[in-house]
């Protein structure tokens, strides 16, 4: 979600849901802030979180896919900071496309809390914590849990056909 235009607070019926959080070990200080925000939001929503760590962002989609088969929703957290090569672009595209594919293939919401930033300052501004402008860890949990709640309503309907 962008910093501007975010939805006003709305109630999500997420109590009792289980959500997997898959996160990277790269840029761990930033990711720790994202995790703290995710944990706080889950507690507020009554969601049970289970956490799984991977080395880097490229490993997130495969673990997210395994979790998507077993949880109401999945949240991916990480931080990719632009370097001096094109590697940044390849990693960001692969992760974003991979997570979207998981959500569609498994019909399970995947909250994308992977920061793709120019520098550490931008990362900290989005990671939550003291004086941060945004809390993308909390936002990713809220988005995934909200989508899972709506998906429950849809799945309760009869299939046309």
Name, in order, each residue with C-beta under 8 angstroms of 3's C-beta and a sequence gap of 6 or more: 133, 134
Q: Annotated binding residue at 18? A: no
Q: Annotated binding residue at 45? A: no
Q: Annotated binding residue at 160? A: no
Q: Annotated binding residue at 59? A: yes
DSSP classification of residue 119: S
Contact 36, 128 (CB under 8 A): yes
CA distance 68 to 109: 8
Q: Annotated binding residue at 157? A: no
CA distance 14 to 73: 10
Structure-token match 């994308």, residue found: 112
- Known catalytic residue at 87: yes
Q: Annotated binding residue at 57? A: yes
Q: Annotated binding residue at 126? A: yes
Of 87, 90, 100, 150, catalytic: 87
Residue 132 exposed, middle or buried by CB count within 10 Å (0-12, 13-18, 19+):
middle
Q: Annotated binding residue at 84? A: yes
Q: Which residues are catalytic?
A: 87
Binding residues for 5-amino-6-(D-ribitylamino)uracil: 26, 57-59, 79-81, 112
Binding residues for (2S)-2-hydroxy-3-oxobutyl phosphate: 84-85, 126
Binding residues: 26, 57-59, 79-81, 84-85, 112, 126
């Amino acid at each position: 979600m962008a910093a501007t235009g975010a939805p006003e607070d709305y109630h999500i019926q997420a109590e009792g849901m289980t959500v997997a959080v898959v996160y990277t070990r790269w840029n761990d200080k930033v990711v720790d802030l994202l995790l703290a925000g995710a944990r706080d939001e889950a507690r507020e929503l009554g969601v049970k979180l289970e956490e799984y760590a991977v080395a880097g962002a490229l490993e997130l989609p495969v673990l997210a896919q395994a979790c998507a088969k077993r949880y109401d929703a999945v949240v991916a957290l990480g931080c990719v900071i632009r370097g001096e090569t094109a590697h940044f672009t390849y990693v960001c595209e692969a992760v974003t496309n991979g997570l979207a594919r998981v959500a569609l293939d498994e019909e399970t919401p995947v909250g994308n809390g992977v920061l793709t930033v120019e520098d550490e300052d931008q990362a900290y501004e989005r990671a939550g914590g003291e004086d941060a402008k945004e809390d993308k860890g909390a936002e990713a949990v809220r988005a995934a849990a909200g989508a899972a709640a709506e998906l429950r309503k849809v799945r309760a309907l009869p299939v046309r056909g």
